[in-house]
Structure 1
Amino acid sequence: MFKVRRISAITVVVAATLATVVAPVHASEQPTKAPAVKTCYGDAKYFTTYSGTPPFYPARGTYLRVRGIACNDINVKLNVAADARVCTRAKCYGWVSAPKGSWKVIFKNSVKNYEFYMQFSRSTSGLHAD
């Protein structure tokens, strides 16, 4: 009889423990979702250069605008290594060697809404983030 009580007591303790672990969380206790955080590279856009001497992006006569979402620089991640530079309406800045497959800053301290285009030493494609 002692063994039966002991097993019954253990069963009650285990059942009570499982009930607290498996019990549903009330709506007021559920964690709230944090707002989505924009990241520099997470908001990157795909591009392919246009033919020209040198190849460029975007199309001739058009400009990209610095979005300034999470980057303070203009970055590229190329599918084919190339030298790259940023040009504005006023001038083109220095060439930067951009390797294949990794992010490279090609212009530092960009200003939100500033218009620019990119030139490359060869035809390429990849991602740009600003």
Structure 2
Amino acid sequence: MRKLKIASLAASALLLGSGMTAATAGSAEASDTPMSAARACTASAPRFTSSPGTSSSDPAFWPARGTYATTTSRCKDINLKLDGSRSVRTCFKTTGCNSWRTLRAGSWGVAATDVLDGTQFYLQFAGTSRATGLIDY
């Protein structure tokens, strides 16, 4: 058993050093949350389509006007994989909007980092055209 744990740790260290990560099997005591209880952040992330804006002072937004999405324990960040490159900013119900961030098409990007679970937010997208892609938070 000890050799198995050492081999598992060595393999994990090798993957971490190469910039990759892997999940290793462990005892039930080693994990606070069973793997079946929550999916990994961005795995099977849902698609979204924003609402269009009407002017430069009213850009495209998600979710519906006057509503908020609420962060979950699944992700510590608000993550987007947009179909087209776009600037986005996250607006929080209690603290207002953060800075614009440009996210590239086809790869995961972070709209907001280290967001507490249960935080209400909406997204604004530069321009008036709809934004589409994947989202997880």
| Alignment TM-score > 0.5, same fold | yes
Residue 54 in structure 1 maps to residue 55 in structure 2: no
Residue 112 in structure 1 maps to residue 113 in structure 2: no
Superposition TM-score, scaled by structure 1 size: 0.69
CA distance in 2 between counterparts of 1:93 and 1:35 reads: 33
Residue 129 in structure 1 maps to residue 127 in structure 2: no
> Deviation of residue 35 (structure 1)?
4.2
RMSD over aligned Cα atoms: 1.5
> Deviation of residue 96 (structure 1)?
0.6
Unpaired runs of at least 5, structure 1: 1-33
> Deviation of residue 43 (structure 1)?
4.5
CA distance in 2 between counterparts of 1:74 and 1:48 reads: 16
CA distance in 2 between counterparts of 1:92 and 1:75 reads: 16
> Deviation of residue 45 (structure 1)?
2.0
CA distance in 1 between counterparts of 2:126 and 2:46 reads: 20
The one-letter amino acid paired with 1:56 is F
CA distance in 1 between counterparts of 2:91 and 2:35 reads: 35
Count residues in correspondence: 96
Partner of 1:102: 107
Note the alpha carbon deviations across 1:66-89, whole angstroms, 9 max, x for none.
0121x2100100011100110012
| 1:37-116 equivalences in 2 (<5 Å) | 38-52=39-53, 53-69=58-74, 71-89=75-93, 90-116=95-121
Note the alpha carbon deviations across 1:5-35, whole angstroms, 9 max, x for none.
xxxxxxxxxxxxxxxxxxxxxxxxxxxxx84
Q: Percent identity?
A: 34
The one-letter amino acid paired with 1:41 is T
Partner of 2:22: none
Q: SS of 2:43's equivalent?
A: helix
Partner of 2:25: none
Unpaired runs of at least 5, structure 2: 1-33
The one-letter amino acid paired with 2:90 is V
